[in-house]
């Protein structure tokens, strides 16, 4: 498995692969890999000839008060894990390679970034779309794989790809969970033992809500209220949002309807750690 740090080198290698007729898949990550990331590589492996994983903790998607400096990093372990599932190349650029000064350009997706996580992290998605767009230009993938755990990110990226006419197929792969239901996330390592024990309440609350909707409940407020009650029964849990939205526009739905693609989305703080989770209903 190759490790490349320079954008120019990465770009040249990608060009060569394209000239040889190989299909390139990109799995963008910020490292500190877990089984969720590895599941994305496994999908990539099935769909492409050459699998590139990017490992880059992108500073521009963190707010000033967020955890950029302490975001977990373990590059050597990441290399072993990535190789174990058949990654061909790791692209791990430096900040100066990705954002050579003065770097004045941002990619901004409107509307779908203003709600849910975008409401409490106003600059987050602009950082994500800028870096993903740069990664697309450098790695030149035919396919890119993202996780459903970051449901809003997936919607935003799909929007960007459609609006900017990127010729890239976006695949969104299912959430990978711990045996007790907690969605895998690099940030789970911040949790204390008690918080970790309590964290699966997110999954339980979402599953209960999904079952209630599938059982015929059509009032989103009633379902949201029940999720809130379940979550706030847990010590140290503070709700950022609990929302039932259309899975594509991310706008709140007024009535729960079988014809609609519905996303139940939650974000909480458990102590100081922000956790997100979601469930799709009716698709
Ligand atoms: O989902 C992530 O890990 C990041 O937001 C991404 C897509 C790698 C961009 O930095």
Can you give the residue ranges of every domain in the chain? 2-173, 186-277
Task: Answer whether 2-173 and 186-277 agree in fold.
Answer: no
Contact 204, 177 (CB under 8 A): no
- Give yes or no for residue 172 CB within 6 A of ligand 1: no
- Give yes or no for residue 30 CB within 6 A of ligand 1: yes
**Which residue's CA is the nearest one to ligand 1's atom 9?**
128
The pLDDT profile of the chain, 283 residues, written as one tens digit per residue, is 999 999 999 999 999 999 999 999 999 999 999 999 999 999 999 999 999 999 999 999 999 999 999 999 999 999 999 999 999 999 999 999 999 999 999 999 999 999 999 999 999 999 999 999 999 999 999 999 999 999 999 999 999 999 999 999 999 999 999 999 999 999 999 999 999 999 999 999 999 999 999 999 999 999 999 999 999 999 999 999 999 999 999 999 999 988 889 999 999 999 999 999 999 997 6
The pLDDT of residue 283: 60
Tokens read off for 229: 């009650």
May I ask the CATH class of domain 186-277? Answer: alpha beta
Atom of ligand 1 nearest to the CA of 56: 10
C-alpha separations of 130 from 119, 127, 156, 247, 283 in Å? 18, 5, 12, 23, 30
The pLDDT of residue 257: 86
Instruction: Count how many Cα atoms sit within 13 Å of the Cα of residue 105 in the half-sphere of its side chain.
Output: 9
Atom of ligand 1 nearest to the CA of 54: 8
Residue of 174, 186, 172, 163 lying closest to 274 (CA atoms): 186
Q: What is the 3-state secondary structure (H, E, C) of the chain?
A: CEEECCHHHHHHHHHHHHHCCCCEEEEEECCCCCHHHHHHHHHHHHHCCEEEEEECCCHHHCCCCCCCCCCCCCHHHHHHHHHHCCCCEEECCCHHHHCCCCCCCCCCCCCCCCCCHHHHCCCHHHHHHHHHHHHHHHHCCCEEEEEHHHHHHHHHHHHHHHHCCCCCEEEEECCCECCCCCECCHHHHHCCHHHHHHCCHHHHHHHHHHHHHHCCCCCHHHHHHHHHHHHHCCCCEEEEEEEEEECCCCCECCCCCCCCCEEEEEEEEECCEEEEEEEEECC
Tokens read off for 258: 């079988």
What is 2-173's CATH topology?
Rossmann fold (3.40.50)
pTM equals 0.97
Alpha-carbon distance of 36 to 131, in angstroms, equals: 21
- Give yes or no for residue 28 CB within 6 A of ligand 1: yes
**Which residues are catalytically annotated?**
37
């Amino acid at each position: 498995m190759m490790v490349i740090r320079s954008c120019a080198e990465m770009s040249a290698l990608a060009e060569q692969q394209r000239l040889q007729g190989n299909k390139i898949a990109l799995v963008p990550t910020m490292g500190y890999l877990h089984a969720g990331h590895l599941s994305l590589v496994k999908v990539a492996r099935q769909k492409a000839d050459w699998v590139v994983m990017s490992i880059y903790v992108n500073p521009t998607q963190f707010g000033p008060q967020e955890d950029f400096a302490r975001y977990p990093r373990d590059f050597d372990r990441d290399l072993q894990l990535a190789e174990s599932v058949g990654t061909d190349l790791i692209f791990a650029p430096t900040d100066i390679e990705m954002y050579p000064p003065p770097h004045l350009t941002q990619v901004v997706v409107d509307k779908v970034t203003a709600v849910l996580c975008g409401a409490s992290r106003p600059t987050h998605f602009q950082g994500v779309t800028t870096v993903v767009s740069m990664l697309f230009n450098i790695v030149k993938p035919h396919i890119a794989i993202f996780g459903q755990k970051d449901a809003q990110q997936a919607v935003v990226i799909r929007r960007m790809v459609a609006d900017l006419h990127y010729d890239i197929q976006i695949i969104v792969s299912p959430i990978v969970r711990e045996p007790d239901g907690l969605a895998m996330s690099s940030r789970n390592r911040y949790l204390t033992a008690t918080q970790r024990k309590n964290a699966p309440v997110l999954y339980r609350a979402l599953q209960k809500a999904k079952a209630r909707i599938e059982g015929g409940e059509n009032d989103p407020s009633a379902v949201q209220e029940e999720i809130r009650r379940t979550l706030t029964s847990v010590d140290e849990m503070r709700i950022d949002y609990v929302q039932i939205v259309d899975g594509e526009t991310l706008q709140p739905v007024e009535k729960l309807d079988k014809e609609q693609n519905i996303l139940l989305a939650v974000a909480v703080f458990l102590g100081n750690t922000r956790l997100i989770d979601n469930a799709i209903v009716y698709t």
